[in-house]
């Protein structure tokens, strides 16, 4: 029997997404594949809530981490300033990526489980000229949810020329997200979390003004594979159904993403957001109210797609669930890593009423605690 995968990604796949992985290989420039890829790129715009024409979506072979490299190598020049809002391990890693490409990084650290004070963000934006700001919508190490809308409002008011970069790896598909309405310049995610596809695809969206900057002749090209000067014309052609080539796309993974995006849009994004929040609230409520456990994330800043919770002897709890067919994750935050567990609740595990994945995970955690 296959274990139920409840880590914060990869997640359990729907039957139809799993089936799409088994489709025969297609030539990546064939009309058959271009029909699929064009639809995937158009639906990526819809899932990100981006403009139907402006800017450009990208679906590239790679993990969510590739999105950091794309932002750091295309949207900021060496020695230009970047402001990073850190709510955990992955925010810190984004800062390291920016430094590697030569950015001058200022990092605002939130208290563990909390968010960066918006007034502190405003103060830094008033004092310095930043090329970009990065916001990790949900940091998977702490399950902290940052209010992206509130931060974008501050940036647009105080420093409108600053590019707004959002790491949406553990949020897009399960948290409210409005690329166009909130005025975001670049957002990145990955296929294996709330998008409900297998790992292996880096999925991102860029605004028109950020794309113009990346493609400007005076903006240096500092990555080969991650170059938006190379990828943008390919994606633009593919989205319009025309063959173009830079590097081979992951054909079967794109097929599976095609199915998963369609499932999300058939449900409607609002319904998906609501279902994830309802499940998250139920699960967190059971853990805190019935088992008297403490969440890593503050209640008002808690993600809908995963839960991070302090437990005694985390390895014992993780092992007990594994013995009973459920896979969860331990902690990875450098300061509290050995004190908590993480449980993912995204995709079909949440939206398929026939599955009892999350209630069963709760019951097993309850058993493990006694």
Positions at the binding site: 342
Q: Around Cβ 1, how many Cβ atoms within 10 Å?
A: 4
Closest CA relative to residue 358, chosen from 298, 300, 306, 308: 306
Closest CA relative to residue 329, chosen from 350, 351, 314, 310: 314
Query: Are the C-beta atoms of residues 292 and 134 closer than 8 Å to each other?
Result: no
CA pair distance 178, 128, nearest whole angstrom: 27
Q: Are strands 201-206 and 56-61 parallel, antiparallel or unpaired?
A: antiparallel
Which pair of structure tokens corresponds to residue 339? 């004190």
Query: Are the C-beta atoms of residues 308 and 296 closer than 8 Å to each other?
Result: yes
Closest CA relative to residue 219, chosen from 98, 63, 91, 73: 73
Binding residues for substrate: 342
In angstroms, the Cα distances linking 220 to 34, 77, 81, 214, 217 are 31, 7, 16, 8, 7
Q: Which residues contact 341 (CB under 8 A, 6 or more apart)?
A: 308, 309, 311, 314, 317, 318, 328, 329, 330, 331, 365
């Amino acid at each position: 029997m296959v274990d139920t995968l409840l880590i914060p990604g990869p997640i359990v796949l729907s039957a139809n997404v799993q089936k799409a992985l088994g489709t025969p290989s297609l030539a990546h420039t064939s009309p058959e594949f271009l029909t699929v890829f064009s639809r995937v790129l158009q639906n990526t715009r819809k899932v990100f809530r981006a403009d139907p024409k402006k800017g450009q979506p990208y679906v590239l072979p790679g993990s969510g981490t590739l999105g950091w490299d794309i932002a750091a190598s295309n949207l900021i020049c060496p020695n230009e300033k970047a402001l990073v809002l850190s709510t955990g391990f992955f925010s810190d890693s984004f800062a390291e990526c920016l430094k590697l490409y030569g950015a001058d990084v200022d990092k605002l650290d939130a208290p563990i489980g909390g968010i960066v004070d918006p007034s502190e963000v405003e103060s830094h934006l008033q004092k310095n000229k930043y090329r970009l700001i990065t916001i990790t919508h949900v940091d998977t190490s702490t399950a902290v949810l940052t209010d992206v809308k509130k931060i974008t409002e501050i940036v647009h008011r105080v420093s409108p020329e600053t590019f707004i970069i959002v790491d949406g790896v553990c949020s897009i598909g399960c948290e409210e997200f409005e690329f166009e309405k909130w005025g975001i310049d670049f957002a990145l995610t990955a296929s294996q979390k709330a998008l409900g596809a297998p790992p292996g695809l880096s999925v991102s969206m860029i605004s028109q003004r950020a794309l113009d900057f990346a493609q400007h002749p005076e903006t240096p090209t500092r990555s080969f594979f991650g170059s938006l000067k190379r990828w943008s014309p390919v994606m633009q052609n593919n989205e319009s159904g025309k063959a173009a080539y830079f590097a081979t796309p992951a054909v079967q993974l794109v097929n599976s993403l095609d199915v998963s995006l369609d499932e999300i849009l058939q449900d409607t994004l609002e319904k998906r957001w609501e279902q994830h929040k309802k499940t998250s609230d139920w699960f967190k409520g059971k853990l805190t109210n019935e088992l008297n456990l403490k969440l890593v994330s503050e209640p008002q800043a808690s993600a809908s797609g995963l839960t991070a919770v302090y437990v005694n002897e985390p390895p014992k709890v993780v092992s007990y669930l594994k013995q009973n067919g459920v896979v969860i994750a331990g902690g990875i935050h450098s300061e509290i890593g050995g004190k908590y567990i993480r449980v993912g609740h995204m995709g079909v595990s949440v939206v398929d009423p026939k599955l009892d994945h999350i209630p069963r995970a709760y019951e097993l955690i309850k058993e493990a605690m006694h």
